[in-house]
Amino acid sequence: MQEPVKGDDEAKRREEAIKEAVLRRFLEPKARERLNNLRLVNPDLVVEIREFIYNLAVSGRLKKPLSDEELKSLLHKIQSSRRREYRFRGLW
């Protein structure tokens, strides 16, 4: 049997700390506050947007910190792309 490796937990914590530092650098304070408030309502969306912003920053496509307005626009685009259209066919 394989016993859990403590190094994995430590590596995950370090990776999260790095992501947090990158997000702190590339989000203005108001935008960070909005993201933290949104986490209470829609944690899945926050995880998705954090990964997206982190990937943009690491790849060099994000040059300056996102303002609150830019974050709202990005959230709107992601949220609208997640919406599904339901069509019901009447059986009557």
Give the contacts of 79 (CB within 8 A, at least 6 positions apart). 45
In this predicted structure, what is the pLDDT of residue 55?
94
- 53 lies in a domain? yes
In this predicted structure, what is the pLDDT of residue 3?
53
In this predicted structure, what is the pLDDT of residue 7?
75
- Supply the range of the domain harboring residue 66: 18-77
In this predicted structure, what is the pLDDT of residue 69?
96
pLDDT beneath 70: ranges in the chain: 1-5, 83-88, 90-92
* CATH number where 23 lies: 1.10.8.140
Q: Please state the pTM of the whole predicted model.
A: 0.74
In this predicted structure, what is the pLDDT of residue 80?
80
Number of domains in the chain: 1
